[in-house]
Amino acid sequence: MGSSPIVTCGSSSGAAAGGGGWRLHNGNAGGKINSVNNKNGNHNHDQSCVLSSTFAFFIVSFVVLGSIGSLYGRYVLTPNVRGGITALGCEEDNEGSWSVGVFYGDSPFTLKPIEHMNIWKDKSAAWPVANPVVTCASLSDAGFPSNFVADPFLYVQGDTLYLFYETKNPITMQGDIGVSRSIDKGATWEQLGTVLDENWHLSYPFVFDYNGNIYMMPEGSANGDLRLYRAINFPLKWTLEKIIMKKPLIDSYIIPHEGKFWLLGSDHSGIGTQRNGQLEIWHSTSPFGPWKPHKKNPIYNTVTSIGARNGGRPFVYNGSLYRIGQDCGETYGNRIRVFKIEVLTINKFKEVEVPFGVEESIKGRNSWNGARSHHLDVQQLGSGEWIAVRDGDRVPSGDVFRRFVLGSASVVAVFGFVILVGMLLGAVKCLVPLSWCPHDTGKRSDTFLAWERSNLLSSKLRLFCSRLNRASSILRARIRPNTCSGVVVLILTISVAVTVTCTGVKHIYGGTGAQEPYLFNGHYSQFTLLTMTYDARLWNLKMYIKHYSRCSSVREIVVVWNKGTPPQSSEFDSAVPVRIRVEKQNSLNNRFKVDPLIKTRAVLELDDDIMMTCDDIERGFRVWREHPDRIVGFYPRLVDGSPLKYRGEVHARKHNRYNMILTGAAFMDGRAAFERYSSEEAGLGRALVDSSFNCEDVLMNYLYANGSSSSVAEYVRPAWAIDTSKFSGVAISRNTQAHYGVRSNCLMKFSEMYGSLTHRKTEFGKRIDGWDVYQAVNFALG
């Protein structure tokens, strides 16, 4: 009798022993091929798809690629988590992650961010106060959940500033109007909450005075009209005063000019209207109307990049009227453009663009306004100084949707590459099971065959299945995996599959890619990054500066040049100023020399061969701001034993204690720490550092401990850290045993000079946020 014949896919020779792919078995209990006609003339076949090694190949492939993607996401990417948010709010929003910053200047064209004012607030535990000053985080932490804040307008009452803005409610996903108050020129803000919440989207809260009353004219185009509200209990309670226009105008404001009131806005509801490239003007003798259209309406109805859509309140400077517009060319709200209005009458309108003059950040997504900025409100204070509020976003419009599309495409591509590798290896021999192919479903009636021949779709599907199932054999015939060229193709295909896997993880898990700062006491700050190096380590330094200058809170990088010909600042690719401080003597004590040119309280001492993520740096800065009297860093040590012996981090982990932080990667109060190190009391210690050319970080820990009765060291775990000097052969401490011996000698002598550290032990894992729990991949510092 024999066994049942086997029909295979993509090969006329059948599935040889051990052949992969789908196999179709047709037969009866007696082993004969038999078709049984039923009453309708159809044929029933005992068919079953038997899964071979193909299934195992797919499982193994996706387990391996999934593991690679997980490791990539765990150790390389920063999760898309907004720093410091404990309440509802700051959810990912396809409209963006807008926030608001404060700027000051002698004119509207010389504005500088608030951090340049060097404002020091004791409760901030750091100075200067830095932008952004109002964010979704500050609102959410205050009990007013928000996904973002945008479209800021100022209202000034004496020394008090009120800030009105659009706030995105994360529950209703609708724009409401919120308000914050500052009594210290915008350094800190009290979040007062939502002041206007309608059943439709609200934004652009233009606030102005008229006849002793305060009015607000928010954009509410979703309701099809333009409404004017009057404050009845400023700033929290408003009532509808009048619907001034039955027209869905967008981003509108009212200004008095040459005896008339002018209303400028955009109407995107009409046929043929150029969205974000359209502007209309209306005029009246009163803010309440009636409003008459300008003779030239629409003033603009063209490309979105010309700045037609309004981007904030107009202002008057040196007798001239200026309009702010949005450039929406590359993305919605891409940037601000300023125009000088030269003619504004009922018949004519003319404006010319003028330079804005505000320096833009080049930190990209690590900067709060690195991707776009679309709104500015600038006003002159009674002191003559100009103040401005401006919104900004770190991601372009539609970023969430774009990442979803790219992530989904990556998943599909990975699946395709897995199939390709399987075909090259012979594990995948059939892409479509025979039972899915119209031409392989067994014997069919003449009527069905005639219908099938006349049906174009079925014919094409039959042809497609046939070609698809032959693809594996054809591919293996042309690219033989047992040849050199075949191996190269296989390796390249696997490499591309791994790359695409990581790309997909980056888009799906990695979020926006921004490594944001962490809020503390309602606002942000900045720090100075200081490193010490010499000419043999220049390649390290260039990579170091390029990377860390993009971290959000870095204000300036100071390079202490100890030996050799110093480089020029222009040689570095930096997003912040770089200052080269050339020293006369090659001494490790130069690291802690008093430097009056440093403009921040916080200083991060970071060796030029240590590479870690900006997110690790930002978390360390956040922890230091909680306790600015401590050394907060990433490399803990435990000083104990009798006699004292210097040991590595493993010793501290073994005893679950630490009492020293290496200052090769640590935050400290620059003024206090450097003055302490330069004091007469520290003279003997500095002399020992010079004689041994080692131990400056150990001395700083002893000096801190000597000046405090409480804990002076705090550890923050990095996600990963790499010592790049290991790859260049220019590490300062190459002989670990000798290096540790010198440090053990320092420990004993510093203990005699400044007292013991052994009783100041701190346990790992004491922080509620878990930032001191050891999970890091650490390859750095001695």
Residues acting as catalytic residues: 697
Distance CA 277, CA 268 (A): 9
- Residue 30 structure tokens: 């007696």
Q: At what angle do helices 446-454 and 456-478 cross, to 10 degrees?
A: 80
* 574 contacts: CB under 8 Å, gap ≥ 6: 545, 546, 549, 557
Residue 260 DSSP SS3: strand
Concatenated DSSP letters for 89-152?
Answer: -----TT---EEEEEEESSTTS-EEGGGGT--BGGGTBSSEES-SB-HHHHHHTT---S-EEEE
Amino acid at 599: K
Rounded to an integer, what distance in angstroms lies between the CA atom of residue 741 and that of residue 9? 70
The torsion defined by the Cα of 360, 361, 364 and 368, in degrees rounded to 10, comes to: -100
- Dist. CA 4–CA 557, nearest whole Å: 78
Pairing outcome for strands 43-44 and 49-50: unpaired
Is the distance from CB of 207 to CB of 215 less than 8 angstroms?
Answer: yes
**Cα–Cα distance, 313 to 375 (Å, whole number):** 9
Q: Is the peptide bond before 108 cis (omega within 30 degrees of 0)?
A: no
Question: Are 252 and 217 spatial neighbours (Cβ–Cβ below 8 Å)?
Answer: yes
Q: Let me know: does 536 contact 529? Beta carbons within 8 Å.
A: no
Q: In sequence order, what are the residues at sequence separation of 6 or more whose Cβ sits closer than 8 angstroms to the Cβ of residue 371?
A: 331, 364, 365, 392, 393, 394, 395, 396
Tokens of 9: 């896919």
Instruction: For 42-107, give the DSSP string.
Output: -EE----EEP-HHHHHHHHHHHHHHHHHHHHHHHTPPPS--TT--SS-----TT---EEEEEEESS
Task: Enter the tokens of residue 233.
Answer: 């209990």
Helices (H) then strands (E): counts for the chain: 14, 42
Rounded (10°) CA dihedral 599, 603, 608, 611: -120
Spell out a b/e string for 433-455, using b for 16 or more CB atoms within 10 Å of the CB, else e. bbeebeebeeebeeeeeeeeeee
Query: For residue 276, what is the DSSP state?
Result: T
Give me the count of residues in the chain.
Answer: 782
Could you give the C-alpha distances from 513 to 22, 523, 726, in angstroms and in order?
42, 22, 28
Tokens (6 digits) for 446: 């003449």
Cα–Cα separations (whole angstroms), residue 235 to 209, 228, 381: 13, 15, 19
Instruction: Locate 616 and state its tokens.
Output: 């690790």
CA torsion, ordered 562, 568, 573, 574, to nearest 10 deg: 70
Closest by Cα among 692, 681, 697, 686 to 754: 681
Contact assessment for residue 534 and residue 563, using Cβ atoms and an 8 Å cutoff: yes
Task: Give the C-alpha separation, 415 to 501, whole Å.
Answer: 10
557 in Cβ contact with 545 (< 8 Å): yes
Alpha carbon distance 108, 465 (integer Å): 68
What is d(CA 283, CA 25) in angstroms, rounded to the nearest whole number? Answer: 83
